[in-house]
Structure 1
Amino acid sequence: MRQLNLHLLRWLCVGLALVGAGAGILLPPAPAAAQIGVVYYVALAGDDSNTGVAWGKAFRTLQRALTVAEAGAQIWVAAGTYYPNEGLVVLPSDPRDATFALKSGVAVYGGFVGTEVTLGERDSAANVTILSGDLEQNDTPDFGNIADNAYHVVTSNANSVSTILDGFTITAGNASGSDLSRDIGGGIYTGGSSFAQLSNLIITYNSAVSGGGGIYNSISNVSLADVDVTYNRTAGTGGGIRNFVGNPSFTDILIAYNTAENGGGGVLNQGTSTTYAFTNVTLIGNTANAPGGAIFNNGGSNFFSYVTIHSNHATTGGGIYNNSGSQIYINTTVISNTAESGGGGISNNGGSPQYTNLLVAGNATLGNGGGGCPQQ
């Protein structure tokens, strides 16, 4: 599976956003850090019969470490590829239900060589650590041969704020099941009012039938920071991310080259009595064969600050499609997006959007309707 880190692209695009005006910025509260307790070590050269309490006694599988870890523990994972069906004590009746289920209060870090003594020594960019849903290890490029892949590579259910996942590439999830719990969130599925911290991640080349090819947040309060969501897809809505109720936050995020058949190529926001906060986010190259190439807002209170929306495409609202709910955009740049009909940059079909320091330029529509911001 190809690995792409597009951090540089993110920051180049963020530089296009307007940074003046001194408007008040609503930032999500800083989450609490996990307590430092026992550290368990995982490496491909390890063995699950070991104690896991030193690199020389490392476990072989991440599942073994998750089984023994309790709240306050950390798990350090050395570079390599790990699969959720390895090291399970009990195999699920459906093999594709195998998943890395985060545990409350446990902090899981990837990106180690396997000799570090402090967390600050690791280099997660150099020591790529992959969590893969390719259970049979037989995938081919561009979503080939994925019918037997895990429904969700990672799950976070009702986890506390001290639950951390940091320093991994998450790939090859395929939520193609016939029921709701198995057809959403191919890369990551979060629910049960989870407050987990997801940071320093690349979520790439995952797929879902109904929504959230990369990540699906359902009644979830997770925080994402320094995350790339790229090349994910869905036959439903929210190719990169789908949010359904809860109060998740997104800070320093790249959402790029995701696709959705039914709207929200990059992100779909949906629900009532819910708040979605996006700060320092770049959405580029996302596509929907329906409204909302980058963003589809279909409910909730949506807050966007220092957001760049560049070169996305949809049938309507190539950059943004506001359908319902409330939206506040502060220091937002919408450039070079396209739509088949109406609103190459922004299409306001409903909702109550408010814009402060909005730059709209170079957008185009191929049919009737404005290239910038039509009111429909």
Structure 2
Amino acid sequence: MTRLLRTLLCALGGILLLVMASSAMAKVIYVSPDGNDLNSGLSWAQAKRTVTAALGIAASRDEIWVRFGVYNERILLKSGVSLYGGFRGTEGSLSERPAFPRPSPDPYETVLDGQGGGSVATSPASAIRAYRLDGFTIRNGVAENGGGLYLTASATLLTVANCTISGNRANQDGGGMYCANASPTLTNCILTSNLANRKSGGGVYCANSSPTFTNCTISGNGATYGSGVHCYDNSSPTFTNCTISGNRASGYGGGVHCVISSSPTFTNCTISGNGANSYGGGVYCVISSSPTFTNCTISGNSTNQDGGGVYCASSSSPTFTNCTIFGNLANRNGGGVYASSSPTLTNCILTSNLANRNGGGVYCYNNSSPTLTNCTIAYNSGTEGGGIWTSSGGAKVRNSIVTFNIGEGVRSPVLAEFRHNCVWDNVPYNFAGDIGNPIGTNGNISVDPLLVAGHLLPNSPCIDAGDNNVVSVDADVDGEVRFVNATVDIGADEFLPPIVQGYLGFNDFVGSLPSLLDWEIRTSSTEVRTLLLDADGGFVLPGVPMEQFALSAKPLSYLRRTVNVDTSEDSVLDLYILLVNGDIDDDNEVTLFDFGALVAAFGSVPDDESWNPRADLDGDMEVTLFDFGIIVRNFGEIGDE
């Protein structure tokens, strides 16, 4: 054996010994409300009383296991140390900890309560090894910035998982979480009911930071700007399978606020029910901020000014692909999308958006140059340009359906490009402004598109009527292949049989139907899909299996209805499913328990303490004798399996 080989083997052996020694030194430190900080912390029987004491003796690669209970303390996280909460206090391995997600209330909730004395958890000044915060509720933090979590550069090595960050407050920025030059990873977390008193980011504040969020919910937070998420100064966080809902801004950007070269990425996300007193109920982006949205739903957001769903200006050009933008409200312009820049929308459905002034679906102002390709713009409303309103000639509209809009279909000067579109039955006109009437030129048609819930029916004139040259993606809004035949279809949906199309009959209901509905497709297994529902109860299920299967739905306070369909030979069309009302307690029966729930809510209206929306069976925003009548008529009814 050569001297060199012996030297290499000795070196390798030394490295292995060091690794083994390091692993042997790593330990678990236990914390329990019944513990004592004078204990060793090396077993449940010898648990520490506080997380702070456990952190004090922890070394890199150690784990701290915390038994359920409330810990009134604020902690400084530590490089290389992983904190886990949610234990019963008997576990011998991490896999024995009760699994997440947990029921509510969580019997094993582990709470870090800041008691209003500062940030609940703070990242260390520096970190050289990954560290973790997993399975905690972070609450009652009050600080200048970052009431719940205050994270700086070292937090790029931090993972936060299975945590609820709620009821925290910042006097300035980041009620729930403050990130400065930090890019942590958050997974399966809830950030709710946090507040940034005077500035930005009620839920999350990012400055020169790009955290990653997966399967997170950011809801019910408040701030002046960006009540859900505020992205500032080159911040481009990534959101996957996240929900941003019910956040309210007194200024701009109810759900998301992006400013100064901040371009977050959203994939399979829902941005819904957010509000802003000023601009951008759902999303607000300005100053070279261009977020990307893929397979996202932007719905039910509102603003007192412009951009109910999305507001983009000052060289900010968001990209929307395979998105559904519906039911948003702007008190002024741009119910769905407001742009004084150049957004790109591909394979998107914009429906049932409302602008009290102009541009119910899309409003383009100040030399903006939007591009809409294979979009479906239907049932939107505005004083002018109910479907599309633009003040410049830079817009491009290709392979798109503009139909059933109120306040004109398209109002515009001569556009840069308008071809292979179907514009039909908009009120009072299909076209207004200087655009003239382009029907009959460049492949544009004006015939009934045969459209239900954003989807084409068999024999639609939009099938195989588009322009292949402008198609840039391989899938339609449903994720199905974009080219079924040699020529692309017009609209967001590429017709691919078989489908199931029909109507739900909502007996005894006078309110607005839900715009989205969960369907169960039951074959050898069960698949759940969330799909659009038209105002008349019309629905389409695309991409169904070519066989016999069961279709099941349970909306609002109605009993479950399950029907068998057979698509082995062709699509199923004009299916009618009559629903039975009265299941207030959601047990799929109309019983005395429902009667009791209605009595408890009787006479109430929204915002009353006793208000129960499920008890408002007829949808008139009041629980009255009419709702009692529905219970009486349907008493004893039982829903399908």
Partner in structure 1 of residue 344 of structure 2: 354
C-alpha contact 2:245 2:274 (8 A) present in aligned 1: yes
Aligned position for 2:89: 114
Deviates more, 1:38-47 or 1:167-176: 38-47
Counterpart position of 2:151: 156
The answer on whether the counterparts of 2:115 and 2:140 sit within 8 Å (CA) in structure 1 is no
Matched, 1:241 2:216: no
Post-superposition offset of 1:214 = 1.0
1:349 deviation in Å? 2.5
1:100 to partner: Cα distance: 4.2
Deviations 1:217-259 (A, max 9, x none): 111132122211111101x201011111233212221111111
Contact 1:41 1:52 in 2 (8 A): yes
- Specify whether residues 304 and 64 from structure 1 end up closer, same or farther in structure 2 by C-alpha distance, changes over 3 A only: farther
Q: Counterparts in 2 of 1:22-33, with a 5 A limit?
A: none
**Counterpart in the other structure of 1:259:** 248
Give 1:191's match in structure 2, choosing from 175, 180, 191.
180
- Corresponding residue for residue 227 of structure 1: 216
TM-score, scaled relative to structure 2: 0.45
After superposition, residues 299-338 of structure 1 pair within 5 angstroms as 299-314=288-303, 315-324=305-314, 325-338=316-329
Matched, 1:170 2:165: yes
Report the equivalent of 1:78.
Answer: 67
Does the 8 Å CA contact 1:231/1:256 hold for their aligned counterparts? yes
CA distance in 1, matches of 2:202, 2:173: 7
Deviation at 1:111, TM superposition (A): 2.9
Q: 1:340 to 1:155 in 2, by over 3 A?
A: same
Is 1:296 aligned to 2:289, yes or no? no
Instruction: Classify 1:374/1:132 alpha carbon distance in 2 versus 1 (closer, same or farther; 3 Å).
Output: farther
Residue 284 of structure 1 deviates from its aligned partner by 1.5
Distance in 2 (CA, whole Å) between partners of 1:269 and 1:69 is: 39
Instruction: Give the greater-gyration-radius structure (CA).
Output: 2
Residue pair 1:170, 1:187 contacting (<8 A) in 2 also: yes
CA contact (8 A) 1:110 1:167 kept: no
| Count of aligned residue pairs for this structure pair | 308
Tell me how far 1:319 sits from its aligned partner.
1.0
Alignment CA distance shift 1:115-1:259 (3 Å): same
Aligned to 1:57, what secondary structure does the other structure show?
coil
Q: 1:101 and 1:358, CA in 2 relative to 1: closer, same or farther beyond 3 A?
A: farther
Q: Amino acid of the residue matched to residue 352 of structure 2?
A: G
Aligned residues of 2:141 and 2:167 also touching (Cα < 8 A) = no
Q: Which moved more, 1:149-158 or 1:198-207?
A: 149-158
Contact persistence 2:241–2:268 (CA under 8 A): yes
Counterpart mapping for 1:26-175 below 5 A: 37-83=26-72, 86=73, 100-122=75-97, 123-124=99-100, 125=102, 126=106, 127-135=108-116, 149-151=142-144, 152-159=147-154, 161-175=156-170
AA matched with 2:142: N
Contact persistence 1:77–1:112 (CA under 8 A): yes
- State the Cα deviation string for residues 119-147 of structure 1 (Å, max 9, x = none): 333324143334444437xxxxxxxxx99
Distance 2:42 2:291 in 1: 44
Q: Is 1:285 aligned to 2:273, yes or no?
A: yes
Are 1:200 and 2:188 counterparts?
yes
* Partners of 2:141 and 2:186 in 1: CA distance: 26
- Alignment match of 1:369 (pick from 334, 350, 358): 358
- Matches of 2:55 and 2:289, distance apart in 1: 35
Give, in whole Å, the separation in 2 of the partners of 1:369 and 1:101.
52
Conserved? CA contact 1:110–1:168, under 8 Å: no
Change (3 A) 1:103 1:240: farther
After superposing on structure 2, the runs of 4+ consecutive aligned residues of structure 1 that deviate more than 4 Å are none
Deviation per CA, 1:82-137: give whole Å up to 9, x if none.
44xx2xxxxxxxxxxxx54444443333333233333333324143334444437x
Distance 1:242 1:106 in 2: 29
**8 A contact 1:207–1:233 mirrored in 2:** yes
Distance 1:257-1:271 versus aligned 2 partners, 3 A rule: same
1:158-214 deviation per Cα after TM superposition (whole angstroms, max 9, x unaligned):
1255422212211222112xxxxxx1001111113x232222211111110200011
- Letter paired with 1:212: G
d(CA) in 2 for partners of 1:307, 1:341: 24
Letter in structure 2 aligned against 1:232: N
Range moving further from structure 2, 260-269 or 148-157: 148-157
In structure 2, the CA distance between the partners of 1:307 and 1:69, relative to structure 1 (3 Å rule), is farther
Q: Is the 8 A contact 1:103 1:159 kept in 2?
A: no
Change over 3 Å in CA distance of 1:364–1:323 after alignment to 2:
same
Unpaired runs of 5+ residues, structure 2, are 1-21, 118-138, 366-641
Q: What percent of counterpart residues are identical? A: 35
Q: How far, CA to CA, are the matches of 1:66 and 1:221 in structure 2?
A: 27
Contact 1:318 1:337 in 2 (8 A): yes
Report SS of the residue matched to 1:246.
Answer: coil
Contact 1:100/1:155 (<8 A) preserved: no
> Which letter does structure 2 place at the counterpart of 1:57?
Q
* Maintained 8 Å contact 2:193/2:221: yes
Structure showing greater relative contact order (alpha-carbon pairs closer than 8 Å, 6 or more residues apart): 1
CA contact (8 A) 1:279 1:304 kept: yes
TM-score (normalised: structure 1): 0.74
Q: Give secondary structure in 2 for the equivalent of 1:47.
A: coil
**In 2, Cα distance between the equivalents of 1:111 and 1:256?**
26
Query: In structure 2, what is the Cα distance between the partners aligned to 1:149 and 1:200?
Result: 24
- Answer with 319-328 or 282-291: which moved more: 319-328
Deviation of 1:260 after TM superposition, in Å, equals 0.6
Structure with the higher strand share, 1 or 2: 1
